[in-house]
């Protein structure tokens, strides 16, 4: 049931995003579009409540409960930036907005990578906090090994993102030099 709800929440995220952007750009109803987009967090609240109720009703904590916590952490930390990312592209493609851009070289790219890493680290920390809450909620009597395993996976996510951002800091990509014209 939890996995099905996670899939429904993910599909719901994209349906709400598409509906919100359609209202904003095609129907020329930006406030209605924002209202639809603001409904998205309700999906995470629903998933959190259903997961807590499932554990409260005696379900053995397993990978599905851990996945729910990770999904919520990722959506909370990355959802807004994902919506902005898609919005810029839709605005450019269908509403004459400016083209999307991201820094490609040097310090600006390193800063960009640290911002991305920060979002992923926040997602991992939120997931770890929810997982710890579930561990405390279940108590010492329950088998919480699968939840603890998800916490360890979130530490790996943090490490990978720090390594990536650090690589852009220590080895910045250089802009291509202008071609030499002989003449």
Token representation of residue 58? 């005696």
The total of structural domains in the chain comes to 1
Confirm whether 137 is domain-assigned.
Answer: yes
Q: How many CA atoms lie within 13 A of 44 on its CB side?
A: 19
Confirm whether 182 is domain-assigned.
Answer: no
pTM of the predicted structure, to 2 decimals: 0.88
Digit-by-digit pLDDT tens for the chain (183 residues) are: 889 999 999 999 999 999 999 999 999 999 999 999 999 999 999 999 999 888 888 888 889 999 999 999 999 999 999 999 999 999 999 999 999 999 999 999 999 999 999 999 999 999 999 999 999 988 766 688 899 999 999 999 999 999 999 999 999 988 888 776 765
Confirm whether 76 is domain-assigned.
Answer: yes
How many whole angstroms separate alpha carbon 121 and alpha carbon 110? 16
Instruction: Report which DSSP code applies to 178.
Output: P
Domain that residue 102 falls in: 2-170
Answer positive or negative: Cα dihedral of 133, 42, 25, 14: positive
Confirm whether 183 is domain-assigned.
Answer: no
């Amino acid at each position: 049931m939890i996995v099905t709800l996670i899939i429904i929440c993910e599909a719901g995220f994209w349906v709400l995003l598409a509906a919100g952007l359609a209202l904003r750009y095609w129907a020329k109803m930006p406030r209605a579009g924002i209202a639809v987009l603001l409904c998205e967090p309700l999906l995470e609240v629903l998933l959190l409540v259903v997961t807590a109720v499932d554990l409260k009703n005696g379900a053995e904590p397993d990978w599905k409960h851990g996945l729910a916590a990770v999904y919520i952490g990722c959506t909370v930390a990355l959802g807004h930036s994902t919506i902005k990312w898609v919005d810029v592209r839709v605005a450019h493609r269908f509403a004459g907005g400016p083209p999307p851009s991201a820094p490609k070289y040097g310090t600006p790219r390193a800063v960009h990578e640290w911002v991305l890493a920060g979002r992923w680290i926040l997602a991992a920390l939120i997931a770890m906090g929810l997982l710890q809450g579930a561990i405390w909620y279940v108590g010492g009597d329950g088998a919480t090994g699968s939840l603890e395993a998800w916490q360890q996976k979130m530490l790996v996510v943090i490490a990978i993102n720090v390594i990536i951002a650090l690589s852009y800091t220590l080895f910045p990509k250089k802009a291509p030099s202008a071609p030499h014209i002989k003449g």
